[in-house]
Structure 1
Amino acid sequence: MKIVIYLYNGITMLDAIGPYEVLRNIPDADICFVAEKIGEVQADSGFIDINVNHRIADVHKADILVIPGSTIAFLEEMKKETVLNWIRQIDKTTTWTTSVCSGSMLLASAGLLTDLKATSHWKPLNLLSKFGAVPTRERIVEEGKYITAAGVSAGIDMALYLSNRILGENETKAIQLILEYDPQPMFESGNYSTADEKTIKTAEKKLAKDAKKGLGLLGMLKYSKSIFDMIK
Protein backbone atom coordinates (compact mmCIF):
# COMPACT_ATOMS: atom_id res chain seq x y z
CA MET A 1 0.00 0.00 0.00
CA LYS A 2 1.53 3.28 -1.15
CA ILE A 3 1.30 5.99 1.51
CA VAL A 4 2.54 9.44 0.53
CA ILE A 5 3.15 12.17 3.12
CA TYR A 6 3.82 15.68 1.82
CA LEU A 7 6.39 17.78 3.69
CA TYR A 8 7.28 21.47 3.38
CA ASN A 9 9.32 24.06 5.24
CA GLY A 10 7.53 25.30 8.35
CA ILE A 11 5.62 22.06 8.90
CA THR A 12 4.43 20.98 12.36
CA MET A 13 6.44 17.80 12.62
CA LEU A 14 3.99 15.74 14.70
CA ASP A 15 1.35 16.33 12.00
CA ALA A 16 3.44 14.07 9.77
CA ILE A 17 5.22 11.79 12.23
CA GLY A 18 2.11 10.98 14.30
CA PRO A 19 0.23 9.45 11.35
CA TYR A 20 3.46 7.86 10.10
CA GLU A 21 3.93 5.92 13.36
CA VAL A 22 0.44 4.46 12.98
CA LEU A 23 0.34 3.86 9.24
CA ARG A 24 3.77 2.21 9.04
CA ASN A 25 2.24 -0.69 10.97
CA ILE A 26 -0.25 -1.43 8.19
CA PRO A 27 0.82 -4.66 6.44
CA ASP A 28 2.71 -3.99 3.19
CA ALA A 29 2.86 -0.26 3.92
CA ASP A 30 5.20 1.59 1.58
CA ILE A 31 5.62 5.09 3.03
CA CYS A 32 7.13 7.89 1.00
CA PHE A 33 7.91 11.35 2.34
CA VAL A 34 7.88 13.85 -0.53
CA ALA A 35 8.59 17.55 -0.94
CA GLU A 36 9.02 20.04 -3.75
CA LYS A 37 12.76 19.45 -3.65
CA ILE A 38 15.04 16.73 -2.33
CA GLY A 39 16.84 17.73 0.85
CA GLU A 40 16.12 19.01 4.34
CA VAL A 41 12.71 20.27 5.37
CA GLN A 42 12.63 22.41 8.50
CA ALA A 43 9.91 22.23 11.14
CA ASP A 44 8.03 25.31 12.31
CA SER A 45 9.88 25.09 15.62
CA GLY A 46 13.21 25.59 13.88
CA PHE A 47 14.64 22.76 15.99
CA ILE A 48 14.05 19.72 13.78
CA ASP A 49 14.89 18.90 10.16
CA ILE A 50 13.87 15.86 8.16
CA ASN A 51 15.70 14.74 5.05
CA VAL A 52 13.38 14.08 2.11
CA ASN A 53 14.52 11.81 -0.71
CA HIS A 54 11.60 12.15 -3.13
CA ARG A 55 10.27 15.09 -5.17
CA ILE A 56 6.59 15.57 -5.87
CA ALA A 57 7.46 15.64 -9.58
CA ASP A 58 8.55 12.00 -9.29
CA VAL A 59 5.53 10.70 -7.36
CA HIS A 60 2.39 10.17 -9.43
CA LYS A 61 0.07 7.96 -7.40
CA ALA A 62 -0.82 6.88 -3.88
CA ASP A 63 -3.32 4.73 -2.06
CA ILE A 64 -3.25 7.16 0.87
CA LEU A 65 -2.23 10.81 0.73
CA VAL A 66 -1.47 12.66 3.97
CA ILE A 67 -1.19 16.47 4.02
CA PRO A 68 0.16 17.72 7.37
CA GLY A 69 -0.37 21.23 8.67
CA SER A 70 1.76 24.00 10.09
CA THR A 71 1.57 27.05 12.30
CA ILE A 72 1.68 29.53 9.43
CA ALA A 73 3.52 28.03 6.44
CA PHE A 74 0.35 26.44 5.07
CA LEU A 75 -0.66 29.90 3.83
CA GLU A 76 2.36 29.99 1.55
CA GLU A 77 1.76 26.42 0.35
CA MET A 78 -1.82 27.32 -0.57
CA LYS A 79 -0.48 29.78 -3.13
CA LYS A 80 1.78 27.28 -4.92
CA GLU A 81 0.00 26.07 -8.05
CA THR A 82 2.66 23.41 -8.60
CA VAL A 83 1.84 21.91 -5.21
CA LEU A 84 -1.93 22.27 -5.61
CA ASN A 85 -1.85 20.69 -9.08
CA TRP A 86 0.19 17.80 -7.71
CA ILE A 87 -2.33 17.28 -4.89
CA ARG A 88 -5.18 17.26 -7.45
CA GLN A 89 -3.37 14.71 -9.61
CA ILE A 90 -2.47 12.41 -6.72
CA ASP A 91 -6.02 12.67 -5.41
CA LYS A 92 -7.27 11.12 -8.65
CA THR A 93 -5.37 7.95 -7.74
CA THR A 94 -6.08 7.68 -4.02
CA THR A 95 -8.41 5.50 -2.03
CA TRP A 96 -8.05 7.95 0.87
CA THR A 97 -7.00 11.60 0.86
CA THR A 98 -6.32 12.91 4.37
CA SER A 99 -5.06 15.92 6.25
CA VAL A 100 -3.97 16.93 9.72
CA CYS A 101 -4.48 20.35 11.30
CA SER A 102 -4.18 23.19 8.76
CA GLY A 103 -3.28 20.68 6.05
CA SER A 104 -6.99 20.70 5.23
CA MET A 105 -6.46 24.25 3.92
CA LEU A 106 -4.31 22.81 1.13
CA LEU A 107 -7.01 20.29 0.22
CA ALA A 108 -9.62 23.04 0.28
CA SER A 109 -7.57 25.47 -1.80
CA ALA A 110 -6.99 22.66 -4.30
CA GLY A 111 -10.78 22.49 -4.67
CA LEU A 112 -11.14 19.02 -3.18
CA LEU A 113 -13.37 19.93 -0.23
CA THR A 114 -15.97 22.10 -1.96
CA ASP A 115 -19.33 21.76 -0.16
CA LEU A 116 -17.85 19.09 2.12
CA LYS A 117 -17.55 19.25 5.89
CA ALA A 118 -13.96 19.49 7.08
CA THR A 119 -12.01 20.23 10.21
CA SER A 120 -8.69 21.83 11.09
CA HIS A 121 -6.86 23.35 14.03
CA TRP A 122 -9.29 25.58 15.95
CA LYS A 123 -7.39 28.77 15.19
CA PRO A 124 -7.63 28.86 11.35
CA LEU A 125 -10.74 26.64 11.13
CA ASN A 126 -13.06 29.30 9.72
CA LEU A 127 -10.65 29.97 6.85
CA LEU A 128 -11.94 26.75 5.27
CA SER A 129 -15.15 28.53 4.29
CA LYS A 130 -13.20 30.91 2.05
CA PHE A 131 -12.36 27.91 -0.13
CA GLY A 132 -15.80 26.34 -0.30
CA ALA A 133 -15.52 23.82 2.53
CA VAL A 134 -17.87 23.66 5.52
CA PRO A 135 -15.88 24.25 8.75
CA THR A 136 -16.76 21.64 11.35
CA ARG A 137 -15.42 21.70 14.88
CA GLU A 138 -14.86 17.95 15.25
CA ARG A 139 -11.71 15.94 15.86
CA ILE A 140 -12.15 13.68 12.82
CA VAL A 141 -14.39 14.34 9.81
CA GLU A 142 -14.96 11.74 7.08
CA GLU A 143 -16.60 12.83 3.82
CA GLY A 144 -16.39 10.10 1.22
CA LYS A 145 -12.71 9.34 0.75
CA TYR A 146 -11.64 12.57 2.47
CA ILE A 147 -10.67 12.44 6.13
CA THR A 148 -9.61 15.64 7.87
CA ALA A 149 -8.30 15.88 11.42
CA ALA A 150 -8.13 18.72 13.93
CA GLY A 151 -4.86 20.07 15.32
CA VAL A 152 -1.54 18.25 15.68
CA SER A 153 -2.24 15.32 18.05
CA ALA A 154 -5.47 14.57 16.18
CA GLY A 155 -3.30 13.17 13.39
CA ILE A 156 -2.69 10.06 15.49
CA ASP A 157 -6.42 9.63 16.01
CA MET A 158 -7.03 10.17 12.29
CA ALA A 159 -4.51 7.49 11.35
CA LEU A 160 -6.03 5.03 13.83
CA TYR A 161 -9.48 5.86 12.46
CA LEU A 162 -8.18 5.18 8.95
CA SER A 163 -6.48 1.96 10.05
CA ASN A 164 -9.78 0.77 11.49
CA ARG A 165 -11.50 1.49 8.17
CA ILE A 166 -8.82 -0.49 6.33
CA LEU A 167 -7.82 -3.29 8.71
CA GLY A 168 -10.64 -3.49 11.21
CA GLU A 169 -10.82 -3.28 14.98
CA ASN A 170 -8.50 -6.11 16.08
CA GLU A 171 -5.51 -5.03 13.96
CA THR A 172 -6.01 -1.38 14.85
CA LYS A 173 -6.20 -2.13 18.56
CA ALA A 174 -2.87 -3.94 18.22
CA ILE A 175 -1.34 -0.92 16.48
CA GLN A 176 -2.62 1.33 19.25
CA LEU A 177 -1.02 -0.97 21.81
CA ILE A 178 2.27 -1.01 19.90
CA LEU A 179 2.29 2.78 20.17
CA GLU A 180 1.03 2.54 23.78
CA TYR A 181 -1.34 5.32 22.78
CA ASP A 182 -3.35 5.78 25.95
CA PRO A 183 -3.93 9.54 26.38
CA GLN A 184 -4.54 10.64 29.95
CA PRO A 185 -4.06 14.42 29.89
CA MET A 186 -3.52 16.29 33.13
CA PHE A 187 -6.10 18.93 32.20
CA GLU A 188 -9.35 18.98 30.23
CA SER A 189 -8.12 21.86 28.07
CA GLY A 190 -7.26 20.07 24.85
CA ASN A 191 -10.53 20.91 23.13
CA TYR A 192 -11.54 24.43 22.11
CA SER A 193 -15.13 23.74 23.12
CA THR A 194 -14.21 22.92 26.71
CA ALA A 195 -11.23 25.22 27.26
CA ASP A 196 -11.91 28.35 29.34
CA GLU A 197 -11.43 31.86 27.98
CA LYS A 198 -8.18 32.47 29.88
CA THR A 199 -6.66 29.30 28.45
CA ILE A 200 -7.74 30.23 24.92
CA LYS A 201 -6.22 33.71 25.20
CA THR A 202 -2.95 32.28 26.51
CA ALA A 203 -2.87 29.74 23.69
CA GLU A 204 -3.51 32.47 21.11
CA LYS A 205 -0.54 34.46 22.41
CA LYS A 206 1.70 31.41 22.17
CA LEU A 207 0.45 30.67 18.65
CA ALA A 208 1.10 34.25 17.58
CA LYS A 209 4.67 33.97 18.89
CA ASP A 210 5.18 30.67 17.06
CA ALA A 211 3.69 32.14 13.89
CA LYS A 212 6.13 35.07 13.95
CA LYS A 213 8.99 32.64 14.44
CA GLY A 214 7.73 30.62 11.51
CA LEU A 215 7.46 33.70 9.33
CA GLY A 216 11.03 34.55 10.19
CA LEU A 217 12.19 31.09 9.16
CA LEU A 218 10.30 31.48 5.89
CA GLY A 219 11.59 35.00 5.26
CA MET A 220 8.02 36.38 5.35
CA LEU A 221 8.09 38.46 8.53
CA LYS A 222 7.17 41.70 6.73
CA TYR A 223 3.83 40.16 5.76
CA SER A 224 2.92 39.22 9.34
CA LYS A 225 0.00 41.64 9.90
CA SER A 226 -1.89 40.68 6.75
CA ILE A 227 -1.30 36.98 7.40
CA PHE A 228 -2.49 37.16 11.00
CA ASP A 229 -5.61 39.01 9.82
CA MET A 230 -6.44 36.09 7.53
CA ILE A 231 -6.58 33.53 10.32
CA LYS A 232 -8.35 35.51 13.04
Structure 2
Amino acid sequence: MTGHDPISQHLQDSMNHWGSGTDDPAMQQAMERSIAAHHALATSPGVTFEAHEDIVIVLHPGFELLDMVGPYHFLAAMIGATMHLATTGDVTEPVRSSSGMPITPTTTLDDAPSAPTVLLIPGGETGVLTSDTHAINAIRRLGQNAELITSVCSGSLALAAAGLLEGRRATSHWSVRHLLPGHGAIEVDERVVEDGNVLTAAGVTAGMDLAIRLVARFRGDTYARFLELGAEYDPQPPFGSGTPDQAGPELTALSRDFLAPLEEQLRAP
Protein backbone atom coordinates (compact mmCIF):
# COMPACT_ATOMS: atom_id res chain seq x y z
CA MET A 1 0.00 0.00 0.00
CA THR A 2 1.64 3.22 -1.17
CA GLY A 3 0.79 6.78 -2.01
CA HIS A 4 -1.34 9.39 -0.31
CA ASP A 5 -4.69 8.73 -1.97
CA PRO A 6 -7.76 8.65 0.32
CA ILE A 7 -8.05 4.86 0.24
CA SER A 8 -4.40 4.36 1.18
CA GLN A 9 -4.64 6.84 4.04
CA HIS A 10 -7.81 5.27 5.39
CA LEU A 11 -6.29 1.79 5.22
CA GLN A 12 -3.14 3.00 6.96
CA ASP A 13 -5.31 4.43 9.74
CA SER A 14 -7.09 1.08 10.02
CA MET A 15 -3.82 -0.82 10.24
CA ASN A 16 -2.54 1.55 12.92
CA HIS A 17 -5.75 0.86 14.84
CA TRP A 18 -5.11 -2.89 14.82
CA GLY A 19 -1.50 -2.31 15.87
CA SER A 20 0.64 -5.32 16.72
CA GLY A 21 -2.08 -7.70 15.56
CA THR A 22 -0.94 -7.09 11.98
CA ASP A 23 2.18 -9.25 12.66
CA ASP A 24 0.00 -12.34 12.96
CA PRO A 25 -0.35 -14.25 9.64
CA ALA A 26 -4.11 -14.70 10.09
CA MET A 27 -4.49 -11.00 10.81
CA GLN A 28 -2.35 -10.17 7.79
CA GLN A 29 -4.67 -12.23 5.63
CA ALA A 30 -7.71 -10.52 7.19
CA MET A 31 -6.18 -7.10 6.49
CA GLU A 32 -5.53 -8.07 2.87
CA ARG A 33 -9.21 -8.97 2.53
CA SER A 34 -10.12 -5.64 4.11
CA ILE A 35 -7.82 -3.76 1.73
CA ALA A 36 -9.45 -5.46 -1.25
CA ALA A 37 -12.91 -4.67 0.12
CA HIS A 38 -12.02 -1.00 0.65
CA HIS A 39 -10.84 -0.74 -2.94
CA ALA A 40 -13.92 -2.58 -4.21
CA LEU A 41 -16.23 -0.15 -2.40
CA ALA A 42 -14.22 2.89 -3.44
CA THR A 43 -14.31 1.89 -7.10
CA SER A 44 -17.96 0.85 -7.20
CA PRO A 45 -20.03 2.73 -9.80
CA GLY A 46 -21.53 5.92 -8.40
CA VAL A 47 -19.53 5.83 -5.15
CA THR A 48 -17.70 8.88 -3.84
CA PHE A 49 -15.34 7.29 -1.33
CA GLU A 50 -14.05 10.51 0.22
CA ALA A 51 -15.22 14.11 0.22
CA HIS A 52 -15.03 16.99 2.66
CA GLU A 53 -18.50 17.76 3.95
CA ASP A 54 -18.97 20.00 7.00
CA ILE A 55 -21.83 18.60 9.09
CA VAL A 56 -23.10 20.95 11.82
CA ILE A 57 -25.37 19.41 14.45
CA VAL A 58 -26.83 21.85 16.96
CA LEU A 59 -26.74 20.89 20.64
CA HIS A 60 -29.14 22.74 22.92
CA PRO A 61 -29.95 21.91 26.55
CA GLY A 62 -32.41 19.01 26.63
CA PHE A 63 -31.82 17.84 23.04
CA GLU A 64 -33.09 14.34 22.24
CA LEU A 65 -30.07 12.03 22.33
CA LEU A 66 -31.07 9.64 19.54
CA ASP A 67 -31.99 12.59 17.30
CA MET A 68 -28.29 13.43 17.36
CA VAL A 69 -26.57 10.07 17.80
CA GLY A 70 -28.58 8.24 15.13
CA PRO A 71 -27.69 10.64 12.30
CA TYR A 72 -24.17 11.08 13.68
CA HIS A 73 -23.48 7.35 13.32
CA PHE A 74 -24.13 7.35 9.58
CA LEU A 75 -22.87 10.82 8.68
CA ALA A 76 -19.58 10.37 10.55
CA ALA A 77 -19.00 7.19 8.53
CA MET A 78 -18.58 9.31 5.39
CA ILE A 79 -14.80 9.28 5.07
CA GLY A 80 -13.47 12.82 5.01
CA ALA A 81 -16.58 14.45 6.46
CA THR A 82 -16.04 16.69 9.47
CA MET A 83 -18.60 16.56 12.27
CA HIS A 84 -19.21 19.76 14.21
CA LEU A 85 -21.26 19.56 17.41
CA ALA A 86 -22.27 23.19 17.86
CA THR A 87 -23.43 24.20 21.31
CA THR A 88 -25.78 27.06 22.03
CA GLY A 89 -23.72 27.73 25.16
CA ASP A 90 -20.08 27.61 26.23
CA VAL A 91 -17.91 25.22 24.22
CA THR A 92 -16.10 24.15 27.38
CA GLU A 93 -19.29 22.82 28.96
CA PRO A 94 -20.91 19.48 28.02
CA VAL A 95 -24.51 19.77 26.83
CA ARG A 96 -26.92 17.55 28.74
CA SER A 97 -29.49 15.67 26.66
CA SER A 98 -33.11 15.21 27.71
CA SER A 99 -32.18 11.76 29.05
CA GLY A 100 -29.35 13.21 31.10
CA MET A 101 -26.39 12.06 29.03
CA PRO A 102 -23.86 14.89 28.53
CA ILE A 103 -22.26 15.37 25.12
CA THR A 104 -19.07 17.38 24.66
CA PRO A 105 -19.46 20.03 21.93
CA THR A 106 -16.69 20.76 19.44
CA THR A 107 -17.65 24.33 18.61
CA THR A 108 -20.24 27.04 19.20
CA LEU A 109 -22.94 28.20 16.83
CA ASP A 110 -20.97 31.40 16.30
CA ASP A 111 -17.74 29.56 15.46
CA ALA A 112 -19.25 26.75 13.37
CA PRO A 113 -18.53 26.73 9.61
CA SER A 114 -20.50 29.63 8.16
CA ALA A 115 -21.62 27.69 5.09
CA PRO A 116 -22.07 24.07 6.26
CA THR A 117 -22.80 21.24 3.88
CA VAL A 118 -25.50 20.06 6.29
CA LEU A 119 -27.15 21.90 9.16
CA LEU A 120 -29.05 19.49 11.42
CA ILE A 121 -31.34 20.45 14.31
CA PRO A 122 -32.35 17.66 16.70
CA GLY A 123 -35.56 17.78 18.69
CA GLY A 124 -36.14 17.21 22.38
CA GLU A 125 -36.86 20.15 24.64
CA THR A 126 -37.16 22.37 21.59
CA GLY A 127 -38.88 25.17 23.51
CA VAL A 128 -35.51 25.85 25.16
CA LEU A 129 -34.05 26.43 21.71
CA THR A 130 -36.89 28.48 20.23
CA SER A 131 -36.80 30.82 23.24
CA ASP A 132 -33.06 31.44 22.74
CA THR A 133 -33.05 34.45 20.41
CA HIS A 134 -29.30 34.34 19.84
CA ALA A 135 -29.42 30.65 18.90
CA ILE A 136 -32.37 31.09 16.55
CA ASN A 137 -30.62 34.00 14.81
CA ALA A 138 -27.49 31.86 14.43
CA ILE A 139 -29.53 28.97 13.01
CA ARG A 140 -31.13 31.37 10.55
CA ARG A 141 -27.71 32.62 9.45
CA LEU A 142 -26.26 29.13 9.09
CA GLY A 143 -29.38 27.88 7.31
CA GLN A 144 -29.28 30.66 4.75
CA ASN A 145 -25.78 29.56 3.74
CA ALA A 146 -26.11 25.79 4.19
CA GLU A 147 -26.23 23.41 1.26
CA LEU A 148 -28.86 21.32 3.06
CA ILE A 149 -31.07 22.32 6.01
CA THR A 150 -32.27 19.34 8.04
CA SER A 151 -34.03 18.44 11.26
CA VAL A 152 -35.19 15.49 13.31
CA CYS A 153 -38.36 15.32 15.37
CA SER A 154 -39.47 18.66 16.86
CA GLY A 155 -36.28 20.25 15.55
CA SER A 156 -38.30 21.28 12.50
CA LEU A 157 -40.17 23.74 14.74
CA ALA A 158 -36.85 25.43 15.50
CA LEU A 159 -36.17 25.68 11.77
CA ALA A 160 -39.64 27.17 11.37
CA ALA A 161 -39.02 29.64 14.20
CA ALA A 162 -35.86 30.71 12.36
CA GLY A 163 -37.93 31.41 9.24
CA LEU A 164 -36.35 28.60 7.26
CA LEU A 165 -39.54 26.63 6.50
CA GLU A 166 -41.72 29.38 5.06
CA GLY A 167 -43.85 27.76 2.36
CA ARG A 168 -41.92 24.50 2.64
CA ARG A 169 -43.35 21.00 3.01
CA ALA A 170 -42.12 19.57 6.31
CA THR A 171 -42.74 16.99 8.99
CA SER A 172 -42.05 16.64 12.70
CA HIS A 173 -42.89 14.42 15.66
CA TRP A 174 -46.56 13.43 15.36
CA SER A 175 -47.46 15.29 18.57
CA VAL A 176 -46.36 18.70 17.27
CA ARG A 177 -46.51 18.29 13.50
CA HIS A 178 -49.85 20.10 13.39
CA LEU A 179 -48.10 23.24 14.66
CA LEU A 180 -46.02 23.64 11.50
CA PRO A 181 -48.65 25.59 9.51
CA GLY A 182 -48.78 28.19 12.28
CA HIS A 183 -45.12 28.90 11.53
CA GLY A 184 -45.63 29.15 7.77
CA ALA A 185 -44.74 25.57 6.81
CA ILE A 186 -46.86 22.95 5.05
CA GLU A 187 -47.56 19.95 7.28
CA VAL A 188 -46.82 16.53 5.74
CA ASP A 189 -47.36 13.18 7.45
CA GLU A 190 -44.33 11.29 6.14
CA ARG A 191 -41.23 9.72 7.66
CA VAL A 192 -38.83 12.02 5.80
CA VAL A 193 -39.92 15.02 3.74
CA GLU A 194 -37.74 16.72 1.15
CA ASP A 195 -38.55 20.15 -0.25
CA GLY A 196 -35.72 21.73 -2.20
CA ASN A 197 -32.68 21.88 0.07
CA VAL A 198 -34.76 21.25 3.21
CA LEU A 199 -35.13 17.72 4.60
CA THR A 200 -37.12 17.11 7.77
CA ALA A 201 -37.58 13.82 9.60
CA ALA A 202 -40.42 12.70 11.84
CA GLY A 203 -39.87 11.57 15.43
CA VAL A 204 -36.56 10.38 16.87
CA THR A 205 -35.80 7.13 14.98
CA ALA A 206 -36.64 8.79 11.66
CA GLY A 207 -33.36 10.66 12.01
CA MET A 208 -31.53 7.52 10.91
CA ASP A 209 -33.67 7.33 7.77
CA LEU A 210 -32.80 10.96 7.09
CA ALA A 211 -29.09 10.36 7.58
CA ILE A 212 -29.00 7.36 5.26
CA ARG A 213 -30.68 9.47 2.58
CA LEU A 214 -28.03 12.14 3.07
CA VAL A 215 -25.25 9.57 2.73
CA ALA A 216 -26.80 8.36 -0.53
CA ARG A 217 -27.01 11.93 -1.76
CA PHE A 218 -23.35 12.72 -1.07
CA ARG A 219 -21.65 9.33 -1.52
CA GLY A 220 -23.99 7.26 -3.69
CA ASP A 221 -26.59 4.56 -3.09
CA THR A 222 -24.06 1.73 -2.80
CA TYR A 223 -22.17 3.56 -0.05
CA ALA A 224 -25.44 4.19 1.81
CA ARG A 225 -26.57 0.56 1.42
CA PHE A 226 -23.16 -0.56 2.70
CA LEU A 227 -23.58 1.53 5.87
CA GLU A 228 -27.17 0.37 6.32
CA LEU A 229 -25.97 -3.24 6.22
CA GLY A 230 -23.08 -2.55 8.58
CA ALA A 231 -25.49 -1.04 11.10
CA GLU A 232 -27.90 -3.98 10.61
CA TYR A 233 -30.58 -1.34 10.22
CA ASP A 234 -33.64 -3.57 9.93
CA PRO A 235 -36.23 -2.19 12.38
CA GLN A 236 -38.62 -4.76 13.80
CA PRO A 237 -40.35 -3.03 16.75
CA PRO A 238 -41.63 -5.59 19.25
CA PHE A 239 -45.00 -3.94 19.78
CA GLY A 240 -45.60 -2.08 16.52
CA SER A 241 -46.98 0.98 18.31
CA GLY A 242 -44.71 3.59 16.80
CA THR A 243 -47.44 5.73 15.21
CA PRO A 244 -50.78 7.00 16.54
CA ASP A 245 -52.64 4.74 14.11
CA GLN A 246 -50.72 1.70 15.35
CA ALA A 247 -50.86 2.65 19.03
CA GLY A 248 -54.59 3.36 19.12
CA PRO A 249 -56.51 6.31 20.58
CA GLU A 250 -56.07 5.53 24.29
CA LEU A 251 -52.27 5.26 24.29
CA THR A 252 -52.01 8.16 21.84
CA ALA A 253 -54.11 10.40 24.09
CA LEU A 254 -51.93 9.50 27.06
CA SER A 255 -48.77 10.27 25.10
CA ARG A 256 -50.19 13.54 23.78
CA ASP A 257 -51.06 14.67 27.33
CA PHE A 258 -47.58 13.65 28.46
CA LEU A 259 -46.10 15.94 25.78
CA ALA A 260 -48.60 18.78 26.24
CA PRO A 261 -46.06 21.26 27.71
CA LEU A 262 -43.80 20.87 24.67
CA GLU A 263 -46.76 21.35 22.34
CA GLU A 264 -47.73 24.54 24.15
CA GLN A 265 -44.18 25.91 24.05
CA LEU A 266 -43.95 25.42 20.29
CA ARG A 267 -47.19 27.09 19.25
CA ALA A 268 -46.70 30.07 16.99
CA PRO A 269 -46.89 33.39 18.88
* Structures share fold, TM-score greater than 0.5: yes
Residue equivalent to 2:78: 26
Question: Helix, strand or coil: the match of 1:188?
Answer: coil
* Aligned mates of 2:259, 2:133 — CA distance in 1: 27
Q: Whole-Å Cα distance in 2 between the matches of residues 137 and 152 of structure 1?
A: 15
The question of 1:56 aligning with 2:109 is answered: yes
Percent of aligned pairs with the same amino acid: 36
- The match for 1:134 among 166, 172, 186 is 186
SS at match of 1:130: helix
Structure 1 residue aligned with 2:203, among 151, 156, 163?
151
Q: List per-residue Cα deviations over 1:170-217 (Å, max 9, x = no partner).
A: 110101112111111112211223331122134335546xxxxxxxxx
- Can you list the C-alpha shifts for 1:45-85, whole angstroms capped at 9, x where unaligned? 23x11111311111123111110001xx2113112221122
Deviates more, 1:191-200 or 1:127-136: 191-200
* 1:230, distance to aligned residue in structure 2 (A): 5.1
Paired position in structure 1 for 2:94: 40
Cα displacement (A) at 1:116:
1.0
- Equivalents in 2 of 1:82, 1:151: separation in Å? 25
Conserved 8 A contact 2:115-2:147: no
The structure with the largest alpha-carbon Rg is: 2
Preserved CA contact (<8 Å) 2:153 2:203: yes
Q: 1:74 matched to which residue of 2?
A: 126
Q: CA deviation at 1:231?
A: 5.9
Asked if the contact 2:60–2:128 (Cα under 8 Å) also holds between the matched residues in 1, the reply is no
1:165 aligns with 2:194: no
Q: Which runs of 5+ in 2 are unaligned?
A: 1-52
The separation in 2 between residues aligned to 1:185 and 1:228, in whole angstroms, is 26
- Separation (CA, whole Å) in 2 of partners of 1:11 and 1:49: 10
Q: Structure 2 CA distance, aligned partners of 1:160 and 1:91?
A: 21
Instruction: Give secondary structure in 2 for the equivalent of 1:4.
Output: strand
Quote the Cα distance in structure 1 between the aligned partners of 2:167 and 2:236: 35
* 1:186 equivalent in structure 2: 238
Q: TM-score, normalised by structure 1?
A: 0.85
Please, what TM-score do these two structures have when normalized by structure 2?
0.74
Letter in 1 for 2:166: T
Q: Distance in 2 between matches of 1:86 and 1:203?
A: 32
Q: Is the 8 A contact 1:127 1:230 kept in 2?
A: no
Q: Once superposed, what is the RMSD of the aligned Cα atoms?
A: 1.8
- Conserved 8 A contact 2:120-2:150: yes
**Paired residues for 1:82-97 under 5 Å:** 82-97=134-149
Name the SS for the 2:55 alignment partner: strand
CA drift at 1:228: 5.2
CA gap 1:199/1:8 in 2 versus in 1, 3 angstroms: same
Q: Using the alignment, how far apart are the partners of 1:80 and 1:143 within structure 2?
A: 26
Tell me the secondary structure at the aligned position of residue 104 of structure 2: strand
Aligned-partner Cα distance in 1 for 2:266–2:247: 19
Note if 1:120 corresponds to 2:172: yes
Does the residue aligned with 2:193 lie in a helix, a strand or coil?
strand
Distance 2:192 2:160 in 1: 16
- CA gap of 1:200–1:172, structure 2 versus 1, over 3 A, is same
Residue 52 of structure 1 aligns to a residue whose secondary structure is coil
1:15-45 Cα offsets, whole Å, 9 max, x none, are: 0010000101112110010112211111112
Q: What amino acid maps onto 2:239 in structure 1?
A: F
CA displacement at 1:161 relative to structure 2: 1.4
